[in-house]
Amino acid sequence: MLSWLFSVATFAGIYALLALGINVIWGMGGMINLGMAGFFALGAYASALATTSGGLPIPIGLALAAGLAALAGGLLCRLTLRLRGDYLAIVTLGFSELVRLVAANEIWLTNGSDGISGVPGPWRSELTPFRFNVLSFALVAAAVVVIWALTERLRRAPWGRALRAIRDDDTAAAVAGKPIRRFKIQAFALGAAILGLAGAFYGHYTSYIAPDIFRPLITIYIFLALTAGGTGNTTGAIVGAVAVVLVLEGSRFLEGWTSVLGGVQKAALREVFIGVALIAIMQLRPLGLLPEKSPGPFLKRKSR
Amino acid sequence: MLDLLPQFLVNGIITGALLAIPTIGFTAIFAVLRFPNFAVASHATVGAFAGLVANVYWGLPAVPSLAFAFLIAGIVGLVSDEIALKPLRKHGALTTAIASIALTIVLENIIRFFFGNELRGYDLPLVRDTRFGDVRVNPQQLENLALAVVIMVLVFTALKYTRMGKAMRAVADNPGLADLKGIDAALVGRVVAFAGMGLVGIGGMLFGLGTSIDPLTGFRFILPIFAAAVVGGLGSIPGAVLGAMIVGVGEEMSALVLEPAYKSAVGFLAIVLVLTFRPSGLLGERAY
């Protein structure tokens, strides 16, 4: 039971990383990334391949995952920079389908739809499953804290302020002399790197990845987490991610009580619930449960 | 390999014509309601399953089943737009686009709830391929092609000559001016949500006629639909037809150089090429 709790908490941490990554792109930058699952998969595959076939240590796998995802994100953002956001939505969604297609078909590299098993985890063989869960949770939690601190610092820094100005009115920001394209590409690449990192953590924790794991559904989970928590709010992203994982896991308990429905039907109902919840929150609380507060520098000075 | 070229070309034209139908729906919704409605994925599935019910459960032939697919996908499109997406449009196109993905997940899983994950096929008479020289065509494919052409002619006639068609083009072209002339934009929006998703539903069933369907059917077609819309010019209805032809022929021709599994990657490649060299698409963004 305790081991299961740590396992749930680890997944919550991975979701929190994803929500933090999307928060940089969508919450802080106002750019849409509907291909989140693609960057998540890219990171997971990059790190898994580097540490299995490549024989490299896990930290290098993590770095590769973040780097590759950042590169892909930067290029996609660059491609649609002059166009309206609608195009970025289409391109990113297309990208995630492409990643899934490559993962399912390049069998020599990714083992196709059978997936890659035996992805190494830190000291997995030396530890009991319980201790491995505790260690994984500690590592993921540390990563969440580091990324939280980093993005929160960036949000309060001039970089974050400029990015917010671009999000709210890019013409005004451009008139104020901000290089808006560079800011947008940087923000998208940074967010994508966090998504890739989350993918790498996922692979090393579960030891198994396959194309089917990275379905568009997970993109909805994360947008729900971020919207519920408060778009643009770094802490809200983490709170939202934990809440979504609790709802997902909690619904498994409810499933035990009904025996009329088959497994597929229960899973379908859960996903209907997630989708309806996202639309409802967007309509009723568009700013989320913890709305973004601009870190006003003046207020801060007064309080000192 | 080159002797297969005429065959690939014919396959490509048939694929393109089928692809044009849902692409017209997607691009028309974009032109009038100004957001990329990713719920096309689930509406293609809804149409495919509505057609399945009419065809397999009620024993109707293909054409009435397609009409039923249009009706059901259109009603679902209208109702879900009113409830889920319309209230969000004031928050911007991107917020609505995110909600449309959530809507896709909801509708797809409602279908999964009732029909399960199994692959299902339509109940159609099996017929031999017809040969024209070196080119083999299945009569079912020819019938689909003819249906697609008839539907396109109907759409273009409606847009050009009916009051509603003209109103639709006016709203797409200049919403402010259309409003000034007393055109009811909300009504036009409802008609487009119904007819657009209805066409997407027909598209889902037309694709399903050639293979089999499951709740993920729609998601498999979104990449070519987006690609066709972007290549032709997002929001342009003639562009949707042109883009669909290019993507359809491109997909089939890709068999010369790529493995068949990568057919749908052609769509992504087409998007990247067009956005790099001609971002507004081949025919621009004017609706008509």
Asked if residue A303 lies in contact with residue B108, where contact means CB atoms within 8 angstroms, the answer is no
Q: What is the ipTM of this complex?
A: 0.88
What does the H/E/C string look like for chain B? CHHHHHHHHHHHHHHHHHHHHHHHHHHHHHHHHCCCCCCHHHHHHHHHHHHHHHHHHCCCCHHHHHHHHHHHHHHHHHHHHHHHHHHHHHHCHHHHHHHHHHHHHHHHHHHHHHHCCCCECCCCCCCCCEEECCEEECHHHHHHHHHHHHHHHHHHHHHHHCHHHHHHHHHHHCHHHHHHCCCCHHHHHHHHHHHHHHHHHHHHHHHHHHCCECCCHHHHHHHHHHHHHHHHCCCCHHHHHHHHHHHHHHHHHHHHCCCHHHHHHHHHHHHHHHHHHCCCCCCCCCCC
What is the pLDDT averaged over residues B42-58?
Answer: 95
Residue A113: per-residue pLDDT:
82
Report the gap between the CA of A132 and the closest CA in chain B (Å): 34
The answer to whether the Cβ–Cβ distance between A283 and B87 falls below 8 Å is yes
Residue B132: per-residue pLDDT:
79
Which chain A residues touch B222 with a CB distance below 8 Å? 93, 97
Residue A15: per-residue pLDDT:
94
Report the gap between the CA of B141 and the closest CA in chain A (Å): 26
For chain A, say whether B98 makes contact (Cβ under 8 Å).
yes
Residue A241: per-residue pLDDT:
92
Which chain B residues touch A221 with a CB distance below 8 Å? none
Query: Searching chain A, which residue's CA lies closest to the CA of residue B277?
Result: A79
- Chain A interface disruption, residue of B38, B40, B113, most A CBs within 10 A: B113
**pLDDT tier, A295 (very low <50, low <70, confident <90, very high otherwise):** low
Query: Searching chain B, which residue's CA lies closest to the CA of residue A90?
Result: B226
Asked if residue A229 lies in contact with residue A289, where contact means CB atoms within 8 angstroms, the answer is yes
Whole-angstrom distance, CA of residue B206 vs CA of residue B124: 13
Judged by CB atoms within 8 Å, which residues 171-210 of B form the interface with A?
Answer: none
Asked if residue A234 lies in contact with residue A155, where contact means CB atoms within 8 angstroms, the answer is yes
**pLDDT tier, A256 (very low <50, low <70, confident <90, very high otherwise):** low
Residue A302: per-residue pLDDT:
45
The answer to whether the Cβ–Cβ distance between B223 and A97 falls below 8 Å is yes
The answer to whether the Cβ–Cβ distance between B36 and A286 falls below 8 Å is no
Nearest to B99 among A84, A217, A282 (CB): A282
Report the gap between the CA of A181 and the closest CA in chain B (Å): 16
**Every domain of chain A and the residues it spans:** 2-214
Nearest to B94 among A32, A219, A276 (CB): A32
- Chain A interface disruption, residue of B275, B277, B278, B280, most A CBs within 10 A: B275
Q: Which of A257-261, B16-20, B102-106, B238-242 has the lowest mean pLDDT?
A: A257-261
Query: Searching chain B, which residue's CA lies closest to the CA of residue A265?
Result: B113
Task: List, in order, residues 6 or more apart from B125 with CB less than 8 Å away.
Answer: none
What is the pLDDT averaged over residues A69-98?
Answer: 89
pLDDT above 70 as % of chain A: 94
Which chain A residues touch B42 with a CB distance below 8 Å? none
Judged by CB atoms within 8 Å, which residues 19-48 of B form the interface with A?
Answer: 30, 35-36, 38
What is the pLDDT averaged over residues A200-204?
Answer: 94
Query: Searching chain B, which residue's CA lies closest to the CA of residue A220?
Result: B102
Query: Searching chain A, which residue's CA lies closest to the CA of residue B268?
Result: A94
Residue B14: per-residue pLDDT:
92
What is the pLDDT averaged over residues B6-31?
Answer: 93
For chain A, say whether B49 makes contact (Cβ under 8 Å).
no
The answer to whether the Cβ–Cβ distance between A90 and B271 falls below 8 Å is yes
Q: Identify the bridge partners of residue B132 per DSSP, sorted by sequence position.
A: B135
Task: List, in order, residues 6 or more apart from A56 with CB less than 8 Å away.
Answer: A50, A64
pTM of the complete model:
0.89
Coil, helix or strand at residue A209 = strand
Report the gap between the CA of B172 and the closest CA in chain A (Å): 16
Which chain A residues touch B275 with a CB distance below 8 Å? 79-80, 83, 87, 91
Q: Which of A67-81, A177-191, A250-264, B129-143 has the lowest mean pLDDT?
A: A250-264
Task: Identify the top-confidence range among A95-99, A141-145, B4-8.
Answer: A141-145
- Chain B interface disruption, residue of A279, A281, A284, A285, most B CBs within 10 A: A279
Which chain B residues touch A216 with a CB distance below 8 Å? 101, 105, 219
Q: Return the higher-pLDDT residue of A171 and A251.
A: A171
Q: Does the pLDDT at position B246 exceed 80?
A: yes
**Multiple choice CATH, B2-119+136-277, 1.10.1670, 1.10.3470, 1.10.1410, 3.30.70:** 1.10.3470
Average pLDDT, rounded, for chain A? 87
- Chain B interface disruption, residue of A23, A86, A219, A251, most B CBs within 10 A: A86
Residue A170: per-residue pLDDT:
84
pLDDT digits (tens, 9 = 90+) for B180-237: 888 898 999 999 999 999 999 999 999 888 888 999 888 888 889 999 999 999 889 9
Q: At what angle do helices B265-277 and B237-253 cross, to 10 degrees?
A: 130
Residue A257: per-residue pLDDT:
65
Whole-angstrom distance, CA of residue B8 vs CA of residue B249: 8
pLDDT digits (tens, 9 = 90+) for A30-57: 898 988 999 999 999 999 999 988 889 9
The answer to whether the Cβ–Cβ distance between B87 and A85 falls below 8 Å is no
**pLDDT tier, A261 (very low <50, low <70, confident <90, very high otherwise):** confident
Q: Return the higher-pLDDT residue of B287 and B97.
A: B97
Task: List, in order, residues 6 or more apart from B273 with CB less than 8 Å away.
Answer: none
**Every domain of chain B and the residues it spans:** 2-119+136-277
What is the pLDDT averaged over residues A155-172?
Answer: 89
The answer to whether the Cβ–Cβ distance between B223 and A94 falls below 8 Å is yes
What is the pLDDT averaged over residues A197-211?
Answer: 93
Residue A213: per-residue pLDDT:
86
The number of C-beta contacts closer than 8 angstroms across A and B is: 130
Residue A304: per-residue pLDDT:
41
Q: Which of A156-165, B53-62, B250-259 has the lowest mean pLDDT?
A: B250-259
Which chain A residues touch B109 with a CB distance below 8 Å? 267-269, 271-272, 275
